[in-house]
């Protein structure tokens, strides 16, 4: 048989795909009986280890990145941090795109077949119960990144999205805005849920009611931000500020405002979240919540490498949750409401 995968070998040997990967990669923590079963299956199926597996046996740890993020800016920042930390730590980053829930299984299979020793799961897959369960079931060291509700048994790196959105809403209130609109992010992504809840709570605490027409659904993409902005700015009575759940959507709001000949921030204040590169490439530059995405990626790589090494040494796996700090960055897109003056 040619073209056999690790899953074909695992099925014949009666073991997990992770066990097959360990045997192929020369890990020591496999019993002689199990190793013999796997080797027999490898020979029967004429399995040919690829270059990735050979590289893994040399001692280079291969870190898989399972990604399906709608924001190119977020992914770009994440990759910078992950590649930098892999370079410093002697690891190698391998990428696999996952198109939604249906593609999770195939993407995980491809990373395992490529010799991944551990896997990073940034948003939105960090909130996928099926993906995390699959990785847990095969014993794959995994770190979830930027989930607002990390699982108890999975190491995670994140910021406090609720407090970040609360700080931004209070900042807008302090500027004098009372008519603030909000663009929600992908409802399947836990940080999007917390950011919207924080906005609602801050407005309620200020004694303000948010009308249904002041909230639009987005999906964290620039395109969804354009649609949401057009919806929010269509009427004669426009909000004085729009808080978008990420920078891509906030940048889209600025573009729509310019198209309507609205001054930002003279006629409309616009704020985002994440502080991705797009925040400083639009004009005016975006006021936003700085999420240290590259640092989060570096921390995630360090965590998964530590987890891999601990498991190989026979120690308990890691379950650490790292909370990094956010910062509110005020730039040119925010100001006092029209008709007022800044303090």
Q: Is 61 left (phi over 0), alpha (psi -120 to 50) or beta?
A: beta
Burial 216-247 (b: 16+ CB within 10 A, else e): bebbbbbebbbbbbebbbeeeebbbbbbbbbb
Question: What is each CA distance from 91 to 83, 278, 302, 306, 324, in whole angstroms?
Answer: 9, 29, 10, 12, 23
What is the H or E stretch that residue 13 is in?
helix 6-13
pLDDT in tens, the chain (343 residues): 346 777 778 888 888 777 777 777 666 567 888 888 888 888 888 776 554 444 444 467 889 998 876 667 788 888 889 998 888 887 889 988 887 656 777 888 888 888 889 999 888 778 788 888 888 888 889 999 988 888 778 889 999 999 999 999 999 999 999 999 999 999 888 899 999 999 999 999 999 999 999 999 999 999 999 999 999 999 889 999 999 999 999 999 999 999 999 999 999 999 999 999 899 999 999 999 999 999 999 999 999 988 888 888 777 777 788 899 999 999 999 999 998 754 4
Contact (CB, 8 A) for 296 and 160: no
Within this chain, domains 61-158+292-312 and 161-290 share the same CATH topology: yes
Residues 6+ apart with CB under 8 A from 127: 147, 149, 188, 189, 190
For the chain, where are the E strands, in sequence order?
Answer: 61-67, 91-97, 118-121, 142-145, 156-158, 180-184, 215-217, 241-244, 269-271, 288-290, 321-323, 327-329
Q: What is the pLDDT of residue 89?
A: 83
Q: What separation in angstroms does the CA of 93 have from each of 72, 78, 205, 305?
A: 18, 12, 45, 12
Report the C-alpha gap between 174 and 94 in whole angstroms.
Answer: 45
Query: In the beta sheet, which residues pair with residue 94?
Result: 64
> Given strand 91-97, what is the order of strands in its sheet?
91-97, 61-67, 118-121, 142-145, 156-158, 321-323
What are 269's two structure tokens?
């204040």
Domain residue spans in the chain? 1-49, 61-158+292-312, 161-290
User: What superfamily does domain 1-49 belong to in CATH?
Assistant: lambda repressor-like DNA-binding domains (1.10.260.40)
DSSP-derived letter for residue 287 is B
Q: For 161-290, which CATH class? A: alpha beta
DSSP state of 178: -
Report the alpha-carbon distance of residue 149 to residue 98 in Å, rounded. Answer: 21
Q: What is the pLDDT of residue 3?
A: 61
Pair 270, 242: CB distance under 8 Å? yes
Strand partners, 112: none
Fold type of domain 61-158+292-312: Rossmann fold (3.40.50)
Distance CA 117, CA 92 (A): 10
Distances (CA, A) of 122 to 125, 204, 251: 6, 32, 22
Q: Rounded distance, CA 267 to CA 45, Å?
A: 68
CA distance 143 to 135: 10
Locus of tokens 């004009």 = 283
* Count of all residues that appear for the chain in the document: 343
Burial of 179 (0-12, 13-18, 19+ CB in 10 A): middle
């Amino acid at each position: 048989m040619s073209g056999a995968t690790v899953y074909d070998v695992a099925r014949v040997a009666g073991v997990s795909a992770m066990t097959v990967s360990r045997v192929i990669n020369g890990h020591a923590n496999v019993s002689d009986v199990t190793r013999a079963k796997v080797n027999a299956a490898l020979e029967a199926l004429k399995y040919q280890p690829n270059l990735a597996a050979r590289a893994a046996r040399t001692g280079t740890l291969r870190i898989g990145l399972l990604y399906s993020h709608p924001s190119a800016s977020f992914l770009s920042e994440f990759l910078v941090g992950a590649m930098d930390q892999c370079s410093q730590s002697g690891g190698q980053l391998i990428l696999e795109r996952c198109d939604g829930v249906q593609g999770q299984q195939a993407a995980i299979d491809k990373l395992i077949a490529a010799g991944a020793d551990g896997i990073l799961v940034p948003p939105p897959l960090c909130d996928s119960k099926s993906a995390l369960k699959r990785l847990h079931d095969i014993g794959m060291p995994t770190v979830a990144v930027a989930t607002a509700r990390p699982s108890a048994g999975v190491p995670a790196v994140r910021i406090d999205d609720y407090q970040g959105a609360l700080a931004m809403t209070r900042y807008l209130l302090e500027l004098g805005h009372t008519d603030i609109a909000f663009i929600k992010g992908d409802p399947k992504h836990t940080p999007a849920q917390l950011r919207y809840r924080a906005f609602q709570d801050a407005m309620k605490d200020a004694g303000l009611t948010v009308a249904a027409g002041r909230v639009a659904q987005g999906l964290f993409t620039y395109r969804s931000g354009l649609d949401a902005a057009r919806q929010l700015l269509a009427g004669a009575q426009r909000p004085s500020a729009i808080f978008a759940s990420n920078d891509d959507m906030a940048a889209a709001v600025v573009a729509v405002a310019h198209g309507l000949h609205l001054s930002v921030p003279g006629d409309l204040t616009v704020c985002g979240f994440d502080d991705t590169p797009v925040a400083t490439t639009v004009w005016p530059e975006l006021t936003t919540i700085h999420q240290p995405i590259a640092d989060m990626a570096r921390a995630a790589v360090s965590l998964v490498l530590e987890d891999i090494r601990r498991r190989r040494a026979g120690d308990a796996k890691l379950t650490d949750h790292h909370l990094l700090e956010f910062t509110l960055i005020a730039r040119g897109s925010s100001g006092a409401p029209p008709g007022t003056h800044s303090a």
